[in-house]
């Protein structure tokens, strides 16, 4: 649901405001709420940071984690604005680059993904499925 659709639902903003007021009135509830939001936001943020170099929504997950944290912590709101600005600047810069630079960035991203798959022993697992167990170079140094 978009923000506009949420705003048009009768009483939703009022219910959210009332919920927040009830939390603010009780110090224990306030502290518990902040701990819960802090924990959830941090977990989402860590998952996003791990996912950044891989194809998919890594940066989106980071921004969601910061937005969750930003609902309770001013430093996270500032960091979210800063991170969005840097992300936009990076993508704008990359779009202006020669295709060779863009290809180099794509290749570096691909190498990170391949290295991670190798370290997690994914190649050895798949090799076992197709009968290539003798290709020991596919084994991860951690799971060999």
Check whether 1 has a pLDDT greater than 60: no
Residue with tokens 């290709």: 135
pTM for this structure?
A: 0.68
Backbone angles phi, psi at 120, to 5 degrees: -85, 5
Residues 28 and 48 grouped into a single domain: yes
Residues 84 and 31 grouped into a single domain: yes
Write out the two tokens for 68. 């969750």
Residues 81 and 136 grouped into a single domain: no
Residues 58 and 31 grouped into a single domain: yes
pLDDT at 9: 60
Per DSSP, helices labelled H in 52-98 are 58-70, 74-96
Residues 24 and 42 grouped into a single domain: yes
Residues 83 and 135 grouped into a single domain: no
Range of the domain at 126: 97-144
Residues 83 and 111 grouped into a single domain: no
Cβ pair 23, 30 in contact under 8 A = yes
Q: How many domains does the chain have?
A: 2
- 53 three-state secondary structure: coil
CA distance 109 to 54: 7
Residues 104 and 45 grouped into a single domain: no
Q: What is the pLDDT of residues 96-134, one digit of tens each?
A: 999 999 999 999 988 988 898 888 888 888 888 988 888
Residues 4 and 44 grouped into a single domain: yes
CA distance 2 to 75: 25
Q: Which of 57, 78, 96 is the last residue of a domain?
A: 96
The Cβ-side half-sphere exposure at 25, using a 13 Å CA radius, reads: 6
Write out the two tokens for 124. 């050895």
CA distance 55 to 83: 19
Q: What is the pLDDT of residues 9-27, one digit of tens each?
A: 668 888 888 888 999 899 9
């Amino acid at each position: 649901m978009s923000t506009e659709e949420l705003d048009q639902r009768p009483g939703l903003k009022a219910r959210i405001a009332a919920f927040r007021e009830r939390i603010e009135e009780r110090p224990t509830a306030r502290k518990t709420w902040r701990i819960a939001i802090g924990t959830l936001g941090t977990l989402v943020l860590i998952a996003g940071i791990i996912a950044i170099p891989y194809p998919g929504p890594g940066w989106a997950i980071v921004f969601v984690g910061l937005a969750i944290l930003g609902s309770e912590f001013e430093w996270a709101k500032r960091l979210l604005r800063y991170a969005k600005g840097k992300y936009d600047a990076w993508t704008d810069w990359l779009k202006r680059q020669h295709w060779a630079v863009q290809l180099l960035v794509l290749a570096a991203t691909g190498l990170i993904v391949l290295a991670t798959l190798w370290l997690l022993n994914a190649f050895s697992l798949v090799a076992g499925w197709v009968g290539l167990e003798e290709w020991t170079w596919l084994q991860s140094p951690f799971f060999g």
